[in-house]
Amino acid sequence: VLFEGAVIPSDQLPHRYLLQYLGMTTPPGSLLLLAAGLLASIRIQATRPRSREAFLCSMAQLWLFFPIAFVWVTRPNVYDGLRHFLFILPALSLFAGLGASAILRLAGKQGARHTLTAAALIGVLLLPIKDLIRLHPYQMTYFNAWAGGLSGADTRYETDYWATSYREAALWLNQKRIAEGKDQLN
């Protein structure tokens, strides 16, 4: 596995592999809202421990953190970034939504402050759109700015580990060779 610029056997990856991949491939705005959502869930659990909401927060925390803790402790063979852990992304999104809701609640129910906060949240969440449009149809190769974007991650991490772009690259090479008057690559 290509990790931090070195090829490492999948059974010898550092404990932080999965957590680091989550941090590098999730848009920063979503990570900040995730943190706000986790804080809001802890607050719900502390202030209303027997409520339905506290129970749901506990289940979502288990959904998000158990797989990460399991990988951290047991160190199974893990490779291809988040491929085997895509099922935790909805939990991450739930907490990001809870974080956005908590931030909007702090801003008040109406008025300019609420509107500006909502606009700022939308703006933060839309930041990766430019990169995702540029990467289309290979959005799975997205790395955030903390990883240096795709160009910063290219030689340090597995990017297109499913090799989905290889067909397009081969077609491009064939077209280039034909344009130069050479035979097609087979």
Nearest alpha carbon to residue 121 among 60, 179, 12, 37: 37
CB atoms within 10 A of CB 87: 10
Per-residue pLDDT of 3-47, as tens digits, reads 999 999 988 999 999 999 999 999 999 999 999 999 999 999 999
Position 183 confidence tier, pLDDT thresholds 50, 70, 90? low
Kindly tell me the sign of the dihedral angle through the C-alpha atoms of 5, 71, 28, 144. positive
| 166/69: higher pLDDT | 69
Helix%, strand%, coil% for the chain, nearest 5: 70, 5, 30
- The pLDDT of residue 172: 83
> Under a CB-based contact definition with an 8 Å cutoff, are residues 8 and 1 in contact?
yes
**Range 48-69 average pLDDT:** 97
CA 179/CA 68 separation, integer angstroms: 50
The three-class DSSP label of residue 183 is: coil
- The pLDDT of residue 139: 84
Nearest alpha carbon to residue 52 among 109, 60, 114: 60
| 61/175: higher pLDDT | 61
186 CB-near residues (< 8 Å, 6+ apart): none
Position 83 confidence tier, pLDDT thresholds 50, 70, 90? confident
- The pLDDT of residue 175: 83
Please give the share of the chain, as a percent, with pLDDT higher than 90: 65
**Range 125-148 average pLDDT:** 90
Kindly tell me the sign of the dihedral angle through the C-alpha atoms of 29, 35, 39, 40. positive
- The pLDDT of residue 184: 56
- The pLDDT of residue 167: 81
CA 26/CA 114 separation, integer angstroms: 26
Start-to-end Cα distance in the chain: 29
Per-residue pLDDT of 91-123, as tens digits, reads 999 999 999 999 999 998 888 999 999 999 999
Position 63 confidence tier, pLDDT thresholds 50, 70, 90? very high
- The pLDDT of residue 137: 87
